[in-house]
Amino acid sequence: MNASNGVAFTPRTCEELFGVWAGQPEARLLAGGTDLLVRLKKVAAWPPLIALERVSELRGIQCVNGWLQIRACSTYCELAEDHFVQAYAPALAEAARDVGAPAIRARGTLGGNLANASPAGDSIPPLYVADALVELRSAAGTREVPITEFFRGPGQTLLQPQELICAVRLPIRRGWREAFVRLGQRAALTIAKVSVAVAVRVERDVVQEARIALGAVAPTVIRAREAEVWLCGRRLDEKTCEAAGAAAARAAEPISDIRSVADYRRAMCAVLVREALCRVSGQRGVHEHA
């Protein structure tokens, strides 16, 4: 048995939580545990844990004044099944449907995925293309940062000591189409090797605005801004999708690691962007996923 004499707190409100945290500055937050408990398995002496399980302020998904607000402890199951998320953040719903396996989707949370800050975190590219804001809270108050500025590097974020993610807010936009595509070693379990989210606003077949986000091809998730600009004013036909894929892949700066080599990731990036764009354009992608 691990850490059989560790200490765990289960506050019910954020106020209570910050009170506990002030007295235990070295404590770690525990949401679904699907990252943290795996990591602690290799650790002999656990830090005190503060479980978010019962903090009701951190749960729930709602629409407020033109924004979709997703609280941090929403699980992948909740994201995948929520009608607002399906309607206003379809790429996020799609990503959530494919994370891990059922038992991981039942426990893993959006806040945990963001705080973990893996460049392969599946919820992140969809939030990039939705222009999401991350709401952070500490005893001193709340602040909001654009998702594209929240990550500093692998495992690194803007979170300050004793600050937590309380929610993510997405502007409710009309007329946008989104898609999420990922490529992993084994669909169910591995962290996505390369993942792509796209969002486009199309009028009379012509792209007005575009967002392309690439996961696992750089130290953080990135936007392929040149490809986005290039797409504007064009028709989303097969050739355009293909060329945009190639342009987006030029933004990738993949590191070679065990999961795959850099060139392969860059090549896949082009394929996945093409596929995601084909999908939002209504054409069938070349590379269909189960």
Partner 1 sequence: MSYTLHINGQLVSVQAPGTARLLDVLREELGLTGTKEGCGEGECGACAVHMDGQLVNACLVLVCQAEGHEITTIEGVAAQARWRPLFDAFVECGAVQCGFCMPGMVMAAAALLRERPRPSEAEIVRGLSGNLCRCTGYRKIITAVQRAGERIASGS
User: Contact positions toward partner 1, by CB under 8 A?
Assistant: 1-10, 30, 32-34, 37-38, 41, 46, 49, 51, 53-54, 77, 100-104, 106-107, 187-189, 290
- Residues 107-146: x where in contact with ligand FAD by CB under 6 A, - otherwise, as a string: xxx-xxx-xx----xx------------------------
- Spatial neighbors of 159 by CB under 8 A, at least 6 apart, are 115, 136, 165
The 3-state secondary structure of 15-31, one letter per residue: HHHHHHHHHCCCCEEEC
Identity of the residue numbered 227: A
Minimum distance of ligand FAD from residue 117's CB (angstroms): 8
- Spatial neighbors of 209 by CB under 8 A, at least 6 apart, are 176, 200, 201, 232
Tokens of 254: 């993949």
Name the residue nearer to ligand FAD (CB basis): 156 or 282.
Answer: 156
Segment lying near ligand FAD (by CB under 6 A), choices 83-91, 100-108, 227-235, 245-253 = 100-108
Name the residue nearer to ligand FAD (CB basis): 34 or 281.
Answer: 34
Minimum distance of partner 1 from residue 31's CB (angstroms): 10
Identity of the residue numbered 98: D
Between β-strands 8-9 and 49-51, what pairing exists: parallel, antiparallel or unpaired? Answer: parallel
Residue recorded with tokens 């169910």: 188
Name the residue nearer to ligand FAD (CB basis): 165 or 271.
Answer: 165
Using CB distances below 5 to 8 A depending on partner kind, what does residue 10 bind out of ligand FAD, partner 1, none?
partner 1
Tokens of 45: 């002496």
Q: Cα Rg for the chain, rounded, in angstroms?
A: 19
Tell whether residue 31 is a contact of ligand FAD (CB under 6 A).
Answer: yes
Question: Which residues of the chain form contacts with ligand FAD (CB under 6 A)?
Answer: 28-36, 38, 72, 99-100, 104, 107-109, 111-113, 115-116, 121-122, 159, 164-165, 189, 191-192
